[in-house]
Amino acid sequence: MSLEQELSRARKNVVTDGYEMSIGEVVGLYEKNELIINPAFQRYFRWKSGRKTKFIESLLLGIPIPPIFVFQTDDGGWELVDGLQRVSTLLEFLGVLKDPGTNTQLSPLVLDGTTLLPSLAGRTWAGVSGTTSLSQAQKLDLRRARLRVEILKRESDPTSKFELFQRLNTGGAALSEQEVRNCTLVMINPQLQKWIERLATSEPFHKTTRLTDVAKEKRAQDELILRFFAFRHVPYQKGLDVHDYLDHAAVTIARDQQFKMDKEEVVFQNVFELIYAALGDGAFRRWDGNRFSGKFLMSVFEVISYGLSLNLTAVSKLKTAEQKDFVLERAKALWGNDVFKKYSGPGIRGTDRFGHLLPLAKGFMKP
């Protein structure tokens, strides 16, 4: 298929519309339950008070703001795809935002002062709890402010919603690649996302990966688990960007009704229990000839965990002591393997690493 044919086919999958609405109209849609905000997203999107105030300040000053993106549902309602914090901040400031868990109304936002508008400090929409409200004119100005709404219509291919979300949110400072995937999983299969987060608390997995607090905040543990299952169920296409592959794998697994979480969890737990028993908290580190040490290495994680998962039945037939000895011997031998040494060092592209180390893993971890 030519590029022009691919473009023509892809464009037919996306049907869009868009127009400007007043802030008051957007708030009205939310109050009538015609604008849906997926509550699970709020775990990943969190603006601090200062950033919320800056957004309200921008509206009061008439500074243009980016559009929001919505997906039109089958009943004609809108599901918010991008713009959660902007919309949530507006709803919170106007005092109509509801708690996603209890559906009770949250306390209105109290603004901070800013460099341009220091008198915003302590202001609320209605002047509740001893605060000072905006004037009637200021309220009208805010409610009449315009917001561009881009609509992905229901005639679009359903997967275009996930694609749009990822394209809008990947690469920014606010979210990591995996945090975007997590939100995508929430859209498609929230049970799978909850399951991945639960697996991330597994003690053997936690102790063998030993991720930093910064990495955990960016949900690196979820990405490791996704890689583990992606390698097992979604073949890697040579040359495909690593993050594109993981994006595709996440959606594929989330929509796969044949993916059995209970059976996969048994494999996951057995693999990491064995790795921890054999390597302890030195797993997935460099072997210097005397001990495993240093930082976590993705290449080691991929070969050992994936390869062991493919050979778990054969390894489990060994005696307990032999199982640990086998994993320990393989972890040491990895550093003498020519393919691993060539495609695991600094400067190696992820596509080259995947293309050579994933095929290596199965045979290398075979008893």
pLDDT value at position 16? 64
Interval 223-247 mean pLDDT:
91
d(CA 65, CA 86): 9
Of the candidate ranges 169-178, 260-269, 300-309, 354-363, the one whose mean pLDDT is the lowest: 169-178
| Residue 171 pLDDT greater than 60, yes or no | no
Interval 109-137 mean pLDDT:
86
Give the model's confidence band at 160: pLDDT under 50 very low, under 70 low, under 90 confident, else very high: low
How buried is residue 56: exposed, middle or buried, by Cβ count under 10 Å (0-12/13-18/19+)? Answer: buried
Interval 142-159 mean pLDDT:
80
d(CA 352, CA 191): 33
Per-residue model confidence as pLDDT tens digits over 285-299: 999 999 999 999 999
Average pLDDT, the chain: 87
Of the candidate ranges 40-54, 152-166, 269-283, 344-358, the one whose mean pLDDT is the lowest: 152-166
Of the candidate ranges 74-88, 158-172, 174-188, 293-307, the one whose mean pLDDT is the lowest: 158-172
Q: Which carries the bigger pLDDT value, residue 152 or residue 93?
A: 93
| Residue 222 pLDDT greater than 70, yes or no | yes
pTM above the 0.75 mark?
A: no
Give the model's confidence band at 243: pLDDT under 50 very low, under 70 low, under 90 confident, else very high: confident
**Cβ–Cβ < 8 Å for 308, 327:** yes
pLDDT value at position 172? 44
pLDDT value at position 287? 94
**Cβ–Cβ < 8 Å for 310, 232:** yes
pLDDT value at position 173? 41
| Residue 6 pLDDT greater than 80, yes or no | no
For a pLDDT cut of 70, what percent of the chain falls above it?
Answer: 87
| Residue 75 pLDDT greater than 90, yes or no | no
Which residue ranges make up each domain of the chain? 3-159, 170-364
CA atoms lying within 13 Å on the CB side of residue 358: 19
> 154 has which bridge partners?
none
d(CA 59, CA 23): 10
Per-residue model confidence as pLDDT tens digits over 308-336: 999 999 999 999 999 999 999 999 999 99
CA atoms lying within 13 Å on the CB side of residue 20: 8
| Residue 191 pLDDT greater than 70, yes or no | yes
Which of 114-123, 169-178, 190-199 shows the highest mean pLDDT?
Answer: 190-199
